[in-house]
Amino acid sequence: MAEKKLILVCNDDGITAPGIRNLIDVAREFGDVVVVAPDKPQSAMGHAITINATIRVNQLNSTDILEYACSGTPVDCIKLAVNKILKRKPDLLISGINHGSNASINVIYSGTMSAAMEGAMEGIPSIGFSLLDHSIDADFSASQHFARIIIRQALADKMPNGVCLNVNIPNTNKDLIKGIKVCRQARANWEEEFDERIDPNGKPYYWLTGVFRNFDDGLDTDIWALENNYVSIVPCQYDITAHSSLQHFKNWEQNV
Amino acid sequence: MAEKKLILVCNDDGITAPGIRNLIDVAREFGDVVVVAPDKPQSAMGHAITINATIRVNQLNSTDILEYACSGTPVDCIKLAVNKILKRKPDLLISGINHGSNASINVIYSGTMSAAMEGAMEGIPSIGFSLLDHSIDADFSASQHFARIIIRQALADKMPNGVCLNVNIPNTNKDLIKGIKVCRQARANWEEEFDERIDPNGKPYYWLTGVFRNFDDGLDTDIWALENNYVSIVPCQYDITAHSSLQHFKNWEQNV
């Protein structure tokens, strides 16, 4: 009989977030699950790792599967899981379900997606899931349904080397979602506004706020898919070389 | 007469690091310089931003140019500079000179390079510089020489949209450096080892350590260039879509 699948679960909202609890429920249908996730919210931590401070790991006693709360970033969690906690390389890494969109440029800032990216760097098939709803009491039933479909496919198929998946789910009823679209990352950015306030000592401090601006009217983008009630899948790579620009810079080369 | 060039300088080692002081010296030869950099070391912060905490900014009085120390990450620094501090969009953003390599996969973890990437996302020509020497008393004279050549080229040329440059400089005498090579990011990773220690209360904690492993024997990589005493330039993009894998995943699409 084939060995049971080993599935590593992480996120960036923290190990107690409803999103990861919902993802764990789905993961258990497919094999043995080990959770290594941050012990507190680590949203927007990107690919940060902890190199100038210590890391703590505590095994939780509250559940019947192996769960570890880690003091570090989402990427720290993956490194710890792969190098210290797991006995063998997992068959799949899933991260999320994130509370809020990681579509388009958000992928760059996302701890959830950086965990998936780190998995890909370790040669593990890796997927990040995100629901377009920030609220703590978001309804994850549609997300669970599509996570189940995509996890089944990922375990059956072979993922290309160096690639992980960025899956985003529209914030709507499952019956209104039209299907799954494979997309490219939309060209967009954040227009920041820094909310300036004055502390009790008369000194200024800032809160980062911003508005998302999509500049991309392509019909093949994740933003288009989500606005049209499709689940979006963007394959992402950690080779960030702008291969198409190599020629442009060739005349910058010099021999001295 | 043409307006003077405006150059924004950042790093991840902190505003007092020798690397950024050396880069500021070079930048001043080309125009007006504004420095917005972290008030403490922020190495390996990747593309992290500060969304659940406040940000402080303090203008330094110690120098004759505008310098701001920011409590946030390197990417926070760029967002603050562009949206709050600078009166107009800079002509160039330079980040570094980093104490240590950002070649190959290090680019993903690097706060120095994430600052440059954020610049590209804001439509600013952006370059990160790194010297392959971690030490606080590294010799930046070769780095200054090549930064000068590359900054001059960047101000004269037009950078492609959505692309920034990852420049790494070998740790050797300027006279031994053979020139500049435009490269792709080498395939490599870090093999982590977690150094486990016991605290005075008998509980374990960890330090992240690791060994860099290059798996790429291509002659067109940044690692090859650096090992052969060339300065490496890798054009990097923030569209991380694995375009060549879109077709692979097409059969994952479903309409429901």
Show the domains of chain A with their CATH numbers.
Answer: 5-185+219-239 (3.40.1210.10)
Do A194 and B55 make contact, defined as CB atoms within 8 angstroms? Answer: yes
Q: Which of A78, A104, A182, A240 has the highest number of chain B CBs within 10 A, making it the mutation to test binding with B?
A: A240
Do A206 and B108 make contact, defined as CB atoms within 8 angstroms? Answer: no
Bridge partners of residue A227, in order along the sequence: none
- Least CB–CB distance from A105: residue in B45, B238, B252: B238
CA nearest to A243 within chain B: B184
- Give B180→chain A minimum CA distance, Å: 5
**In this complex, is the C-beta atom of B87 within 8 Å of any C-beta atom belonging to chain A?**
no
In chain A, which residues have pLDDT < 50?
A: none
Q: Which of A12, A36, A47, A195 has the highest number of chain B CBs within 10 A, making it the mutation to test binding with B?
A: A47
In chain B, which residues have pLDDT < 50?
A: none
* Chain B residue numbers touching A44 (CB-CB < 8 A): 48-51
* Tokens describing residue B7: 């150059």
Buried b (16+ CB within 10 A) or exposed e, B237-250: bbbbbbeebbebbe
**In this complex, is the C-beta atom of B213 within 8 Å of any C-beta atom belonging to chain A?**
no
- B22 CB contacts (<8 Å, ≥6 apart)? B97, B140, B143, B144
Q: pTM to 2 decimals? A: 0.96
* Tokens describing residue A210: 């911003």
* Tokens describing residue B123: 């439509």
Element (H, E) at B180: strand B179-182
Q: What's the confidence (pLDDT) of residue A64?
A: 87
* Chain B residue numbers touching A50 (CB-CB < 8 A): 44, 208
- Give A26→chain B minimum CA distance, Å: 19
* Chain B residue numbers touching A191 (CB-CB < 8 A): 83
Do A253 and B80 make contact, defined as CB atoms within 8 angstroms? Answer: no
Angle (deg, nearest 10), helices B18-27 and B141-156:
40
Q: What's the confidence (pLDDT) of residue B63?
A: 78
Q: What is the ipTM of this complex?
A: 0.94
Q: What's the confidence (pLDDT) of residue B2?
A: 64
Q: What's the confidence (pLDDT) of residue B1?
A: 52
Do A248 and B236 make contact, defined as CB atoms within 8 angstroms? Answer: no
**Are the C-beta atoms of A147 and A97 separated by less than 8 Å?**
yes
**In this complex, is the C-beta atom of A161 within 8 Å of any C-beta atom belonging to chain B?**
no
Residues A174 and A230: their CA atoms lie apart, in Å, by 10
Q: Residue B77: which region, alpha, beta or left (left: phi > 0; alpha: psi -120 to 50)?
A: alpha
Q: Express each pLDDT in B65-82 by its tens digit.
A: 999 999 999 999 999 999
Do B237 and A233 make contact, defined as CB atoms within 8 angstroms? Answer: no
- Give A208→chain B minimum CA distance, Å: 6
Q: What's the confidence (pLDDT) of residue A63?
A: 78
**Are the C-beta atoms of A62 and A42 separated by less than 8 Å?**
no
Q: What's the confidence (pLDDT) of residue A84?
A: 94
CA nearest to B247 within chain A: A182
* Chain B residue numbers touching A178 (CB-CB < 8 A): 255-256
